[in-house]
């Protein structure tokens, strides 16, 4: 039976001389603490610190990278335990779910998911069997035994994974009780909230009016008017900052930041709150205006603003209706930044307290738009390759297309952007290996000294993420 092993030089360059230098550089970064400032692990995971249920619930059911590949081959989401929005029946036998995954292991060949999963199996759980129909039960038992051990509780894994700080993503109307518990337990500076207001800035969300009411309840501010709505958002941002938040997060379809006339915004807000259905153009204009307002508020409170546009959420409306959001059917679209961001950057781009990190899944804009923007505006940093681009080739293309214009120090360093907790070390490891390979090439081309390459690698892996997410 084939043994599952990790090659020590995986993801490093193939050419012997470049690999030799890359190994030297990687050796200086591989053990650095992880700075995880853009994450989606739920705060409850750390606050409650319960043992993980089982291998399927840990590695498959919450990870859309994993189950979307299975879905692409015709395997129903319910068959791998993805919950239904209505609470209806789905496969509940975790061992059966795990077998389905192992039987289809070959689907992940050549994908970053394969890299992450192998790293998790070997490094985290001590598995040495290649997943297959024949090995599924043995691997399941091995992982199940490990997650039952006290050192595999979520808080203990912070130390095991060498995570110095990790952020969660929380709605604007979150009451932050879990973060209050974490602070009381001494983890308030290690697990941080991030303010995400998307649910209340898109007027066509089905729960928008209910969410506006909840925003009023948690803030204690009347949100029946647009001005009250803005005041409530300011209050919640202040509460997040008090709880340790360093950033906001905005997942809009478009990067448009055109401000909306205040009187027009007031009228539109009131009409929709009263029950009117907004047009698509009104929804887009209001969302754009709110990005502008969020930038304005960031200048007031110093929270770092993250924008990651360009994904058409819930491309399959039937899946969204059945299983809810974030179920693997979010598809990238072409995204324009230069004109879209101009209103915001002309007004706030040189403001001393404004900090903006830009992400994209449209890699055609790296060299044409984002690198020139980050290479000019002191407030802007270019975020790491994200989502469909956090792969070996995507990371290499990012460095090759962005560095010549933006340099290294107008980028944010790595963010892991995942709710799959056990995959976080693997994601950082891959990034550090790819960066080591890129920097090694610059050394061999006599464009950088080895000492400069090592310093840059350390900065990218550790110092830049910390600096990029410091409040203004």
Q: Where are the domains of the chain?
A: 16-50+153-468, 51-148
Structure tokens at 218: 């948690």
Q: How many CB atoms lie within 10 A of CB 301?
A: 17
Torsion of Cα atoms, 203 then 207 then 210 then 211, to 10°:
-70
Length, in residues, of the chain:
472
Cα–Cα distances (Å) from 296 to 170, 210, 300, in that order, read: 20, 26, 7
Task: Output the six-digit token pair for 382.
Answer: 């270019």
Q: What is the largest CA-CA distance in the chain?
A: 70
CA–CA distance, 60 with 456 (Å, rounded to integer): 35
Residue with tokens 């930038």: 295
What pLDDT does 328 receive? 82
Positive/negative CA dihedral, 395, 57, 37, 463: negative
Indicate the pairing of strand 331-332 with strand 311-312: antiparallel
Per-residue confidence (pLDDT) for residue 62, from 0 to 100: 87
The CA distances from residue 443 to 24, 278, 393, 411, 447, in Å, are 11, 56, 20, 20, 6
Q: Give me the sign of the Cα torsion angle 91, 95, 101, 104.
A: negative
Burial of 251 (0-12, 13-18, 19+ CB in 10 A): middle
Contact criterion met (CB below 8 Å) for 78 and 84: yes
Tell me how many degrees the CA angle 326-249-201 measures, rounded to the nearest 5: 80
Comparing C-alpha atoms, which of 37, 36, 29 is closest to residue 458?
29
pLDDT of amino acid 1: 62
pTM comes to: 0.96
Instruction: Round to whole Å and give the CA distance between 324 and 328.
Output: 10
Strand arrangement of the beta sheet that strand 34-36 belongs to: 34-36, 163-167, 191-192
**Domain 16-50+153-468 adopts which CATH fold?**
TIM Barrel (3.20.20)
CATH number of 51-148: 1.10.2020.10
- The beta-carbon contacts of 352-355 under 8 Å, at least 24 apart in sequence, are 352/472, 353/298, 353/299, 353/300, 353/302, 353/472, 354/295, 354/298, 354/299, 354/305, 354/379, 354/472, 355/298, 355/302, 355/304, 355/305, 355/379, 355/381, 355/468, 355/470, 355/471, 355/472
Distances (CA, A) of 47 to 3, 72, 168, 192: 37, 35, 12, 12
CA dist., res. 255 & res. 310, Å (int)? 8
Torsion of CA 14, 20, 22, 26, to 10 degrees: 120
Sign of torsion over alpha carbons 75, 79, 85, 86: positive
**In this structure, how many other beta carbons lie within 10 angstroms of the beta carbon of residue 275?**
7
Per-residue pLDDT of the chain (472 residues; tens, 9 = 90+): 679 999 999 999 999 999 999 999 999 999 999 999 999 999 999 999 999 999 999 999 988 899 999 999 999 999 999 999 999 999 999 999 999 999 999 999 999 999 999 999 999 999 999 999 999 999 999 999 999 999 999 999 999 999 999 999 999 999 999 999 999 999 999 999 999 999 999 999 999 999 999 999 999 999 999 999 999 999 999 999 999 999 999 999 999 999 999 999 999 999 999 999 999 999 999 999 999 999 999 999 999 999 999 999 889 999 988 998 878 898 999 999 999 999 999 999 999 999 999 999 999 999 999 999 999 999 999 999 988 899 999 999 999 999 999 999 999 999 999 989 999 999 999 999 999 999 999 999 999 999 999 999 999 999 999 999 999 8
Q: Are 366 and 279 in contact (CB under 8 A)?
A: no
Structure letter (DSSP) for residue 29:
T
CA distance 21 to 444: 8
């Amino acid at each position: 039976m084939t043994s599952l092993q990790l090659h020590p030089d995986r993801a490093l360059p193939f050419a012997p001389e470049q690999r030799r230098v890359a190994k030297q550089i990687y050796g200086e970064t591989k053990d650095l603490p992880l700075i995880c400032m853009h994450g989606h692990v739920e705060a409850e995971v750390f606050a409650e610190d319960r043992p993980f249920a089982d291998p399927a619930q840990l590695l498959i059911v919450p990870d859309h990278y994993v189950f979307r590949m299975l879905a692409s081959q015709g395997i129903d989401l319910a068959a791998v335990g993805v919950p239904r929005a209505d609470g209806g029946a789905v496969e509940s036998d975790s061992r059966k779910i795990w077998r389905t995954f192992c039987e289809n292991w070959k689907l992940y060949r050549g994908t970053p998911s394969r890299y992450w999963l192998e790293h998790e199996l070997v490094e985290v759980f001590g598995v040495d069997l290649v997943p297959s129909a024949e090995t599924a039960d043995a691997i399941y038992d091995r992982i199940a035994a490990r997650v039952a051990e006290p050192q595999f509780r979520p808080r203990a894994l912070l130390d095991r994974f060498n995570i110095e700080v990790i952020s969660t993503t929380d709605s604007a109307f979150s009451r932050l009780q879990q973060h209050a518990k974490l602070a009381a337990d001494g983890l308030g500076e290690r697990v941080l909230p991030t303010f995400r207001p998307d649910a209340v800035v898109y007027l066509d969300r089905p729960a928008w009016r209910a969410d506006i009411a909840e925003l009023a309840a948690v803030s204690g501010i009347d949100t029946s008017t647009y001005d009250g709505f803005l005041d409530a958002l300011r209050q919640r941002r202040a509460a997040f900052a008090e709880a340790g938040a360093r950033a906001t997060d905005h997942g809009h379809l478009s990067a448009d930041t055109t401000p909306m006339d205040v009187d027009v915004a007031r009228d539109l807000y009131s009409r929709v709150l009263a029950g009117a259905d907004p047009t698509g153009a009104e929804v887009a204009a209001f969302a754009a205006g709110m990005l502008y307002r969020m930038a304005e508020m960031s200048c007031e409170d110093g929270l770092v603003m993250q924008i990651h546009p360009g994904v058409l959420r819930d491309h399959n409306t039937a899946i969204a209706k059945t299983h809810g959001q974030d179920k693997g059917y979010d598809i990238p679209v072409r995204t324009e930044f230069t004109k879209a961001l101009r209103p915001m950057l002309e007004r706030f781009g040189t403001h001393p307290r404004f900090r903006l990190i830009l992400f994209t899944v449209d890699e055609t804009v790296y060299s044409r738009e984002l690198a020139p923007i980050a290479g000019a505006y002191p407030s802007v940093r270019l975020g790491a390759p994200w989502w469909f681009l956090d792969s070996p080739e995507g990371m290499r293309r990012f460095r090759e297309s962005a560095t010549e214009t933006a340099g290294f120090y107008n980028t944010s360093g790595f963010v892991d952007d995942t709710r799959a907790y056990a995959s976080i070390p693997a994601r950082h490891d891959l990034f550090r290996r790819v960066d080591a390979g890129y920097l090694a090439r610059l050394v061999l081309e006599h464009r950088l000294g080895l000492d400069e390459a090592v310093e840059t690698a350390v900065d990218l892996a550790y110092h830049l993420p910390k600096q990029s997410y410091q409040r203004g």
